[in-house]
């Protein structure tokens, strides 16, 4: 007889199989968890790198912006004669083979902003520094960019993962970025390319008239009166009464980019009292600059300032300016430049003419220049002739009476109108005249780039 044995699974065997399956499942889940964790950590690290890169770029741009601000605040150092030898760490190859470093490690110690991450020399936790290089393009050994229209390169660098000395403290975060910027300068040419210019609207009335001539040919009307007696305004110009005769263009909505004048006298007060009485000034030695400073100028009737010799006389006036006559001694070539600060209260500023007085040099109006920040009313009144240039972009100039203006005027306004028998004779040589002010800076190019290890 045959006996058939029926085998049934052992409970232990079933438990073992389940254990194996569970271990496989756990292993798979663990692997998935590790992969997910790695992916998450990788994305987190990538996100952190992006954040670090944004912070690094912001730090480099901050350094570049502060370098531009430094240039504007220290514009006198942008002039020839203050440049050092070019650093070998920065590009000097064509097209600028004659580059110069303005100042090694300019503003290397960026001032602290008293916030987290902004210790001395740091922005956003990144070490920053900047170099400013003057670009000199030469053609046949002659500078292609003349003085007053130079170009400069800013190299603003930010470093992450380093200490104040530049030593690497965190290799995982170490990276560098640089912002290169080209800054052009302009000394404010084409400011006096019109006989009269005002930022506000005005009207011309009465028998007011304009024409032009060139002082290169001598005193007016050498060469004959011309038709370049242009008048312009950033607003509008209207004619309401009388029969004005403008021998030139009437230009409306003429927006000009005017330079900024910062009143910063290089000397203390020459006297604590107002300037008055007859004055005779001559630069000494010849050809040099004579600086004078007074709290105000208040010249009485028939009191005169006489300029002699050669060079420049700079008169700094902290407050009101009231002038009578300004004369130039025979044979002299010296210029008089008057710098006036704005002031609150006190008398209004004015030029007062008496009889047949002559203020300035009839053959050279560019020898008398007023540069003013005064924001009140300034009067040009009387019955005489003024030979000079006025730059008073915040002053409201009242021009009335029977007198002649030989030169050019830039003002905020003309008290709404120009009337009387006022005549403007524009000297065309003033079209190329530049103001003795700090240059204006314009950033013409700006681009960031990451620096590889070892790149200067």
Q: Which residue stretches of the chain have pLDDT < 50?
A: 80-109, 112-117, 143
Asked if the peptide bond before residue 335 counts as cis, ω within 30 degrees of 0, the response is: no
User: For residues 112 and 97, is the Cβ–Cβ distance under 8 A?
Assistant: no
Alpha carbon of 231 to those of 120, 199, 204: distances in Å? 52, 12, 10
How many domains is the chain partitioned into structurally? Answer: 2
Whether residue 73 contacts residue 81, with contact meaning beta carbons closer than 8 Å, is answered with: no
Long-range pairs for 87-92: beta carbons < 8 A, 24 or more residues apart: 87/131, 87/133, 89/131, 89/456, 90/131, 90/133, 90/155, 90/456
Predicted pLDDT of residue 349: 66
54 vs 60, 63, 93, 226, CA distance in Å? 10, 14, 31, 60
Asked, for residue 5, whether it belongs to a domain, the answer is: no
User: In this structure, are 181 and 209 located in the same domain?
Assistant: no
* Helical segments of 6-98, H only: 11-73
Give the H/E segment covering residue 365: none
- State which residues form the domain around 358: 196-432
Q: Is residue 9 part of a domain?
A: no
CA atoms within 13 A on the CB side of 65: 7
In a domain, 32, yes or no: no
Same domain, 240 and 145: no
Amino acid 344: pLDDT: 80
Say whether both 242 and 358 belong to one domain.
yes
Torsion angle defined by CA atoms of residues 379, 381, 385 and 391, in that order, rounded to the nearest 10 degrees: 10
Residue 398 lies in a domain: yes
Residue 259 per-residue DSSP state: P
Q: Would you tell me how many other CB atoms lie within 10 Å of the CB of residue 268?
A: 7
With respect to residue 24, please indicate whether it lies within any of the assigned structural domains. Answer: no
156 closest CA partner among 184, 186, 133: 133
CB of 294 closer than 8 Å to CB of 269: yes
Residue 314 shares a structural domain with residue 446: no
The encoded tokens of residue 250 equal 């009437």
372 vs 350: CA distance, rounded Å? 12
* 17: in domain: no
Residues 259 and 402 reside in one and the same domain: yes
Same domain, 292 and 370: yes
User: Do 427 and 444 belong together in one domain?
Assistant: no
* 227 and 319 together in one domain: yes
How far is the CA of 29 from the CAs of 19, 22, 37, 40, in angstroms?
Answer: 15, 10, 12, 16
Helix (H, G, I), strand (E, B) or coil at 390: strand
Task: Please report the pLDDT score of residue 96 as a whole number.
Answer: 35
The answer on 313 and 207 residing in a single domain is: yes
CA-based torsion, 95, 98, 102, 107: positive or negative: positive
Q: Whose CA is closest to 397, among 415, 409, 372?
A: 415
Cα separation, 255 vs 51, in Å, equals 42
Whether residue 33 lies inside any domain: the answer is no
* CA-CA-CA-CA torsion sign (87, 88, 90, 91): positive
pLDDT at 335: 96
Tell me, yes or no, whether 245 and 388 share the same domain: yes
Report pLDDT for 67: 81
Residue burial 251-267, b: 16+ Cβ < 10 Å; e: rest: eeebebebbebeeebee
Is the same domain home to 326 and 202? yes
**Residues 63 and 178 placed together within one structural domain of the fold:** yes
Exposed, middle or buried, 76 (CB in 10 Å: 0-12/13-18/19+)?
Answer: exposed
Number of residues that this document lists for the chain: 456
Q: What pLDDT is recorded for position 115? A: 46
């Amino acid at each position: 007889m045959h006996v058939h044995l029926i085998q049934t699974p052992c409970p232990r065997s079933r438990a073992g199989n389940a254990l194996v399956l569970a271990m496989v499942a756990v292993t798979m889940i663990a692997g998935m968890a590790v992969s997910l964790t790695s992916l998450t950590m990788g994305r987190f690290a990538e996100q952190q790198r992006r954040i670090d890169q944004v912070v690094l770029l912001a730090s480099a741009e901050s350094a570049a912006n502060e370098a531009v601000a430094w240039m504007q605040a220290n514009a006198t150092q942008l002039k020839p004669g203050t440049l050092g030898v070019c650093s070998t760490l920065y590009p000097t190859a064509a097209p600028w083979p004659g580059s110069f470093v303005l100042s090694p490690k300019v503003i290397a110690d960026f001032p602290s902003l008293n916030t987290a991450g902004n210790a001395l020399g740091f922005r956003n936790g990144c070490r920053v520094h900047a170099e400013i290089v003057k670009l000199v393009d030469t053609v046949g050994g002659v500078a292609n960019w003349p003085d007053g229209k130079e170009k400069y390169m800013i190299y603003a660098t930010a470093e992450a993962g380093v200490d104040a000395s530049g030593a690497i403290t965190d290799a995982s975060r170490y990276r560098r970025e640089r912002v290169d910027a080209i800054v052009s300068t302009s000394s404010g040419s084409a400011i006096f390319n019109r006989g009269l210019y005002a930022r506000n609207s005005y009207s011309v009335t009465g028998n007011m008239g304009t024409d032009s001539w060139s002082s290169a040919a001598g005193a007016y009307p050498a060469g004959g009166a011309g038709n370049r007696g242009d008048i312009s305004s950033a607003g509008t110009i209207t004619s309401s009464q009388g029969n004005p005769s403008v021998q030139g263009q009437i230009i409306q909505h003429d927006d000009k980019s005017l330079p900024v004048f910062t009143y910063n006298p290089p000397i203390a007060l020459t006297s604590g009292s107002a300037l008055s009485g007859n004055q005779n000034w001559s630069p000494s030695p010849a050809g040099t600059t004579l600086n004078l400073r007074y709290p105000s100028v208040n010249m009485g009737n028939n009191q005169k300032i006489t300029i002699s010799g050669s060079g420049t006389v700079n008169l700094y006036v902290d407050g009101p300016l009231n002038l009578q006559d300004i004369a130039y001694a025979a044979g002299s070539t010296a210029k008089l430049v008057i710098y006036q600060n704005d002031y609150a209260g006190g008398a209004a500023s004015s030029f007062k003419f008496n009889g047949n007085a002559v203020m300035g040099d009839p053959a050279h109006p560019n020898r008398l220049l007023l540069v003013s920040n005064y924001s009140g009313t300034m009067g040009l009144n009387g019955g005489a002739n003024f030979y000079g240039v006025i730059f008073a972009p915040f002053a409201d100039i009242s021009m009335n009476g029977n007198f002649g203006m030989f030169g050019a005027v830039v003002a905020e306004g003309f008290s709404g109108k120009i009337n009387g028998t006022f005549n403007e004779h524009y000297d065309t040589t003033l079209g190329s005249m530049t103001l003795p002010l700090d240059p204006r800076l314009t950033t013409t190019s700006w681009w960031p780039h990451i620096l590889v290890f070892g790149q200067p």
